[in-house]
Amino acid sequence: MLIRDYTAADAAPTLAVFEDAIRRTARSRYSAEQVEAWLGGPRDLAPWNAARLRVRTFVADDAGTVAGFTDLDDAGYVDRLFVSPDHGRRGVGRALLEHVLVTADALGLPELTTHASLVARPVFERAGFHVVHEETVRRGAVELTRFHMRRPSDAAAPTSP
């Protein structure tokens, strides 16, 4: 599994991973209604690609197939962490976060933050993040639980599952 920088050619496969991960994997912890609210309807590829290019976006590449992706902005915020359900529970999420940690270290970022889903919380915890507080976010009329999480740069190294 290679972790590499995102390029525009990854727009369609990363969008497919995003939609699949929410529809199939996140569905284990969220209702069908919550999943649809999270997806928020079809997305155009051009703005999706532009948003990925605005921050550092990293792709997990399994012999040419996009298995997952994550990102890191200049303030240390990790906005996305999504792994294809076909590659789930094999350490891809963990490998992507380890790449984020190494990058953040090289940039000298004092802390990392994220908003993690119910499914992603344990993956972030294993990478040294802790919950600051639980939040309820509204997508239209639907409410979703997520966790504001933080990882100081001197947090302990990632732990094994």
Ligand X SMILES: CC(C)(COP(=O)(O)OP(=O)(O)OC[C@H]1O[C@@H](n2cnc3c(N)ncnc32)[C@H](O)[C@@H]1OP(=O)(O)O)[C@@H](O)C(=O)NCCC(=O)NCCS
Query: Would you tell me which residues interact with ligand X (CB under 6 A)?
Result: 21-22, 25-26, 28, 81-83, 88-94, 116-117, 119-120, 122-123, 161
Least spacing, CB of residue 49 vs ligand X, in Å: 19
Nearer to ligand X, 54 or 89 (CB): 89
Tokens of 120: 């992603």
Compute φ and ψ for 146, nearest 5 degrees.
-145, 175
129: Cα separation from own chain's centroid? 13
**Alpha carbons 30 and 35: distance in angstroms, whole number:** 6
Nearer to ligand X, 49 or 147 (CB): 147
Please identify which residue in the block is written with the tokens 């051009």: 46
Least spacing, CB of residue 84 vs ligand X, in Å: 8
Least spacing, CB of residue 47 vs ligand X, in Å: 19
Nearer to ligand X, 31 or 108 (CB): 31
Chain position whose Cβ is nearest to ligand X: 93
Tokens of 73: 């902005």
Q: Are strands 81-83 and 65-72 parallel, antiparallel or unpaired?
A: antiparallel
